[in-house]
Amino acid sequence: MTPSMAPDPRIQISPSLKGVAAKPDCPLTSINTAGANTDEATYADYRGNFHKGLEHNTTTGLVDPTGFKLMRVILNSTSPADYELIPLDETRKMTNPQAGKGTDLQGPTPSALSMLSAPAVESAECATEAVELYWMSLLRDVPFNDFASNADVAAAAAEMESLRAAHSAYTGPLEGGAVTPNTLFRGCSPGDTTGPLISQFLLRDIPYGSLLISQKQETALPMQDFLTSWNEFISIQNGFEVTDPQPLDPKRRYIRNMRDMAHYVHIDALYEAYLNACLILLGAKAPLNPGNPYQDSHTQIGFGTFGGPHILSLVTEVATRALKAVWFQKWNVHRRLRPEAFGGLVDRTKNNKASLLSATNPVMSSQALARVKDKTGSYLMPMAFVEGSPTHPAYGAGHATVAGACVTILKAFFDERAVITNPVVASSDGESLIPYSAPAGEAHLTVGGELNKVAANIAIGRNMGGVHWRSDYTESLKLGEQVAIHILLQQRNDYFEDYHFQFTNFNGNPVRIDKFGIS
């Protein structure tokens, strides 16, 4: 990426700086403390924990406790050979349970980081998150452009607001103190609720050397959901390897609804969206971070340090550090169950096959659950992917942790206050991009806001597929941010230049990193 490259005419970054978008009105991200929750100790049947791929009772859906205990012993082993003894029931393999025990020369030791405990399986927070996921499954095919006028979206927002008011356990963004169609299914960082739901960095053409890459995506066919019958569900829980391909739309489209977003994060390279965002920003000659040593130089430009090659390599490099950090949390600390397994608890309880959730659990009387039962004939959580969730625990989320790390790097290198002009949105059929008309008084779209938004889109896109929870997004984003800041701190004395990084973190607070440390 050379300094002489002409700006991409499809995206213009205004040099006038209007300030970062206001932080959304969000509740606290969690009511929990650090470390694992008590589910594993509370329930001898391990109903609140991850156990996909092990043997399950075909009537209750509960894991064989002996198999779970053996897996837990193996996860604490110091011998890699012991991992070959994980008692799989079918042929689908566990995903990388040794990764969290790895380290790097740069980046934090995974075991040195911590996350808040995941919401317990019978908590109001978990129930609220589950209701949100049931609504997501029902609304996957509604175009984002229709959210303001769609009656089902209004019903979803109303129920989420009712749960928020009753249980104070909703951690998504609010508008005027309430959940609205405009805040539904969005992230909770500065800029997340400004403008279109989908970030400009997931819509704009990507300049890649001499290529210009359209972001028209491969998409999944509408109205195709999975794991909605008990036999299919229990087979998948036991680790049956699905060979049937995902039913795909033959036409490529811009991301226009939750099914499109879910399919993007089903098959993406984990740093893909952030590498693309970096290429878009470089191609548009976006303003660099004010602390960049070459920002105002009359004689020099950055290249191997503080220039295009430096930024492009670092934004991808942090991804593996983030994955190791979150994989330690997944396998060695939290072992949280996936939403599909929670749906099994709901289904067995509602059908009087086993008493696995309390009758007063807010999920049981939710409108979302009743609608799913009417649509699919069961109370199971409808999945967007044929195989359901991956074979690793839910908390933290790999996509969200990588998002937090990569976006933090981008905010450290580019001026997040720069305004993005000429915003676009996908048409309702996804076949074209159309100009976005902002409501009167809405804040400008900024680089920082749209970077926060792309992180939320990718992380919550996994929720839209049914495989993650909202708290997986909120807490993992901050874990990834820790990883990136740690790396930037470690590298602070590696450069000759007089520089500093300054940016706003995901909670909306200022961060400065320089040769003296962090402030």
- Enzyme catalytic residues: 392, 399
Residue 44 has a CB neighbour count (10 Å cut-off) of 8
Query: Are the CB atoms for 215 and 198 separated by under 8 Å?
Result: no
Half-sphere exposure of 181 (CA within 13 A, CB side): 15
* Distance (Å, whole) CA 423 – CA 420: 7
Strand partners, 56: 63
Which helix (H) or strand (E) is 165 found in, with range? helix 151-167
Residue with tokens 């009712």: 162
Token pair, residue 168, equals 């104070």
By 3-state DSSP, what share of the chain in percent is helix, strand and coil, each rounded to 5? 40, 10, 50
Q: At a CB cut-off of 8 Å and minimum separation 6, what does 280 contact?
A: 8, 11, 201, 204, 205, 206, 207
Residue 425, Cα to own-chain centre: how many angstroms?
21
CA distances from 75 to 86, 156, 341, 462 (A): 9, 40, 21, 25
Token pair, residue 446, equals 């900024």
Phi then psi for 68, rounded to 5 degrees? -65, -45
* Distance (Å, whole) CA 457 – CA 197: 8
Regarding beta strands 424-426 and 418-421, do their DSSP bridges make them parallel or antiparallel, or are they unpaired? unpaired
State the distance between the two ends of the chain, measured CA to CA, in whole angstroms. 32
Helices (H), 230-388: 230-237, 258-267, 272-283, 308-329, 339-350, 367-376
Give the DSSP letter string of 466-506.
TS--HHHHHHHHHHHHHHHHHHHHHTTTS-SS--EEEEE-T
Residue 364, Cα to own-chain centre: how many angstroms?
26
Single-letter amino acid code for the residue at 99: A
- Tell me the torsion sign for CA atoms 52, 55, 59, 62: negative
Vertex 260, ends 256 and 506: CA angle to 5°?
Answer: 85
Single-letter amino acid code for the residue at 376: T
Q: Nearest Cα to 29, choosing from 344, 404, 416?
A: 404
